[in-house]
């Protein structure tokens, strides 16, 4: 079967971006149990689109199957008309649960890096970093403003930049080496969605440090709640900051946390196989 892809980011097709088409090719191979290759509009059986273009090929011909993927916290206006929507919400209607961090793990070398982070003994000399470009996260901005009153934060992105900009891709050795200099990294989402969980939570795990997370209330369905700082309620900011300070001042506690398993029950149950199974149950008739 042939797949027509439209509207994705640079590097998606040629596999130069950390999240590329290979996740979807392999996913559809499992769903349709046949080879999948990229085709042009006329010859393709399957449409795969995302949300960044205002127009769509959904209605341009009769597709055997049509898919919409969104790693953002929003969909387009046509999402109900696709065969299947791959998105950060639990399964319902034509939506199949695909948190963004799952294709990130699949396409990059991050899984191997996380698995290699065992028996950590070194205490980083620096306390907290944040690598943020989007200035519009209200909850994140509030938390950081309160945090700065008690702890210095190194900002390596365009937001509040106060150190040399960090320009490396997040799965590169240079990025991981940078993060590993810090005890904590701010890993807060831009907004909150049901399973809207981006690659941000992975930054601290790859660097062998502690992520400070705000976002999906379902984050602990996937990751060990003892391995990161989870801000369920932004009104609890003062208590969270006090907990961070305690860990900074307690080397044994820090070492204990960073050596815990990353995934809930030491296993990530949501993966390409479970997603493929859910898609099959959605689009194929069963006896």
Q: Residue 287's pLDDT is what?
A: 61
In which element (H, E) is residue 231 found?
none
Predicted structure pTM score: 0.94
Q: Kindly state whether residues 133 and 246 are assigned to the same domain.
A: yes
139-181 pLDDT, tens digit per residue, is 999 999 999 999 999 999 999 999 999 999 888 999 999 999 9
CATH number assigned to the domain comprising residue 74: 3.40.50
Q: Does residue 236 sit within a domain?
A: yes
Among 8-12, 75-79, 108-112, 123-127, whose mean pLDDT is lowest?
Answer: 108-112
Q: How does the average pLDDT of the chain come out, rounded?
A: 95
Is residue 123 within 8 Å of 99, Cβ to Cβ? no
Q: Is 59 exposed, middle or buried (0-12, 13-18, 19+ CB in 10 A)?
A: exposed
Q: Kindly state whether residues 219 and 244 are assigned to the same domain.
A: yes
Q: Residue 171's pLDDT is what?
A: 86
Q: Kindly state whether residues 160 and 65 are assigned to the same domain.
A: no
Q: Kindly state whether residues 239 and 175 are assigned to the same domain.
A: yes
Q: Does residue 121 sit within a domain?
A: yes
DSSP 92: B
Mean pLDDT of 43-55: 97
Q: Kindly state whether residues 256 and 120 are assigned to the same domain.
A: yes
Q: Does residue 189 sit within a domain?
A: yes
Q: Kindly state whether residues 65 and 195 are assigned to the same domain.
A: no
DSSP 280: H
Q: Does residue 104 sit within a domain?
A: no
């Amino acid at each position: 079967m042939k797949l027509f892809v439209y509207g994705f980011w640079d590097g998606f097709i040629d596999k130069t971006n950390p999240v590329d088409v290979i996740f979807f090719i392999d996913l559809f191979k499992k769903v349709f149990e046949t080879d999948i290759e990229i085709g042009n509009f006329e010859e393709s059986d399957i449409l795969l689109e995302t949300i960044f273009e205002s127009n769509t090929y959904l209605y341009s011909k009769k597709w055997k199957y049509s898919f919409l993927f969104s790693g953002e916290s929003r969909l387009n206006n046509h999402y109900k008309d696709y065969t299947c929507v791959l998105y950060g919400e639990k399964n319902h209607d034509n939506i199949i649960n695909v948190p963004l961090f799952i294709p990130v793990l699949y396409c990059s070398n991050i899984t191997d890096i996380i698995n290699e982070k065992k028996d950590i003994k070194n205490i980083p000399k620096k306390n907290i970093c944040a690598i943020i470009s989007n200035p519009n996260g209200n909850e994140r901005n509030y938390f950081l403003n309160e945090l700065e009153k008690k702890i210095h934060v190194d900002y390596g992105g365009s937001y509040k930049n106060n150190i040399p900009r960090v320009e490396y891709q997040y799965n590169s050795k240079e990025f991981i080496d940078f993060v590993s200099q810090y005890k904590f990294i701010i890993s807060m989402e831009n907004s909150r969605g049901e399973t809207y969980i981006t690659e941000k939570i992975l930054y601290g795990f790859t660097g062998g440090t502690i992520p400070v997370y705000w976002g999906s209330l379902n984050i602990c369905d996937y990751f060990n709640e003892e391995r990161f700082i989870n801000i369920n309620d932004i009104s609890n900011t003062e208590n969270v900051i006090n907990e961070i300070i305690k860990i900074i001042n307690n080397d044994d506690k820090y070492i204990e946390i960073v050596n815990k398993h990353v995934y809930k029950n030491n296993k990530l149950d949501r993966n390409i196989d479970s997603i493929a199974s859910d898609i099959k149950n959605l689009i194929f008739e069963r006896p």
